[in-house]
């Protein structure tokens, strides 16, 4: 009951951060203040309980597995950008897990690794709300200009999250240029109209 309650409390802290729309720094501060005492208390409980249960019992095995990993479990307290769990990753790879038997015929280990990389990138597109077809078409067209030995170009620029930001900035720039020239064009029309009327008045 105590473990379940601690888990509920930890997720409740995340819900508070979401409700307050905290940024990464604010979420980190909230975790440090509220979640750290819960995790420290649970760590102390594991230390006190381990000697009281048989090592081969289910409880003993659970503590044996969890305790060495506990410092890593607490890493999310240090960075508000980190999620409390890996549910997003688990949900992203679920289709791959269901299709595992189909991937037995990738051909070789290298092909399997390439398939995993492609699926990971497509899952990133989904998480970033990017149209995978649009991203692939653009990236495939740009890849020839990113030779392996050309250190002046960074292939990370083509990663979905960076690509999305670059696309957004490009759209904003194109809109700015359009508005600028649109205003210039309208100004030219007004000037031509004024100049034409002035000439007509002088001729009269």
Which range of residues forms the domain containing residue 42? 2-78
Number of domains in the chain: 2
- Examine the domain organization and report whether 71 and 109 are in the same domain: no
Q: Does residue 46 sit within a domain? A: yes
**Within this chain, do residues 58 and 99 fall inside the same structural domain, yes or no?**
no
42 and 109 co-located in one domain = no
Give the pLDDT score at 163: 85
Q: Are 8 and 55 members of one domain?
A: yes
Rounded mean pLDDT, 22-51: 92
Answer yes or no: is pLDDT of 152 > 60: no
pLDDT tens-digit map of 156-169: 788 888 888 887 76
Q: What is the mean pLDDT of the chain?
A: 79
- Predicted confidence at residue 62, as pLDDT, reads 92
Please say whether the beta carbons of 20 and 12 come within 8 A: no
Q: What pLDDT does 119 receive? A: 81
Model confidence at 91: pLDDT above 60:
yes
User: CB of 34 within 8 A of CB of 14?
Assistant: no
Is the same domain home to 67 and 111?
Answer: no
**Region of residue 146 (phi > 0: left; psi between -120 and 50: alpha; otherwise: beta):** beta
Between 12 and 191, the more confident residue is 12
Which of 41, 60, 78 is the endpoint of a domain?
Answer: 78
Rounded distance between C-alpha atoms, residue 127 and residue 123, angstroms = 6
Is 60 exceeded by the pLDDT of residue 3? no
Of 35 and 144, the structure prediction assigns the larger pLDDT to 35
| 91 and 151 belong to one structural domain | yes
Residue 150 domain flag: yes
In a domain, 113, yes or no: yes
Percent of the chain with pLDDT over 90: 32
Tokens of 181: 């020239």
Location of structure tokens 């990993």 = 69
Q: Rounded to whole angstroms, how far apart are CA atoms 143 and 159? A: 12
Per the domain annotation, does 20 fall within a domain? yes
Residue 54 is assigned to a structural domain of this protein:
yes
Query: What distance in Å separates the CA atoms of residue 14 and residue 27, rounded to the nearest whole number?
Result: 8
The residue written with tokens 């990017």 in the block is 130
Best CA proximity match to 17, nearest among 74, 88, 82: 82
Same-domain check for residues 109 and 45 = no
Residue 65 lies in a domain: yes
Q: Is residue 193 part of a domain?
A: no
The answer to whether residue 182 scores a pLDDT higher than 60 is no
Q: What is the mean pLDDT of residues 115-120?
A: 81
Residue 40 dihedral angles phi and psi, to the nearest 5°: -65, -40
Q: Is residue 103 part of a domain?
A: yes
65: pLDDT strictly greater than 60: yes
Query: Do 96 and 69 share a domain, yes or no?
Result: no
């Amino acid at each position: 009951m105590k473990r379940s309650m601690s888990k509920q409390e930890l997720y409740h802290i995340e819900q508070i951060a979401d409700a307050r729309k905290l940024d990464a720094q604010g979420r980190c501060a909230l975790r440090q203040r509220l979640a750290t005492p819960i995790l420290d208390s649970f760590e102390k409980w594991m230390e006190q309980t381990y000697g009281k249960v048989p090592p081969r019992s289910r409880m003993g095995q659970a503590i044996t597995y969890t305790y060495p990993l506990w410092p890593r479990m607490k890493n999310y307290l240090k960075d508000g950008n980190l999620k409390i769990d890996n549910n997003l990753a688990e949900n992203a790879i679920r289709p791959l897990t269901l299709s595992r038997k189909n991937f037995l015929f990738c051909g070789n280990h290298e092909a399997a690794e390439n398939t995993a990389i492609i699926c990971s990138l497509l899952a990133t597109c989904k998480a970033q709300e990017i149209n995978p077809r649009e991203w692939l078409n653009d990236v495939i067209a740009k890849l020839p200009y990113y030779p392996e030995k050309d250190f002046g170009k960074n292939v990370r620029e083509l990663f979905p999250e960076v690509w999305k930001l670059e696309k957004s900035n490009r759209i904003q720039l194109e809109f700015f240029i359009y508005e600028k020239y649109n205003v210039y064009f309208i100004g030219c029309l007004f000037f031509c109209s004024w100049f034409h009327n002035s000439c007509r008045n002088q001729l009269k």
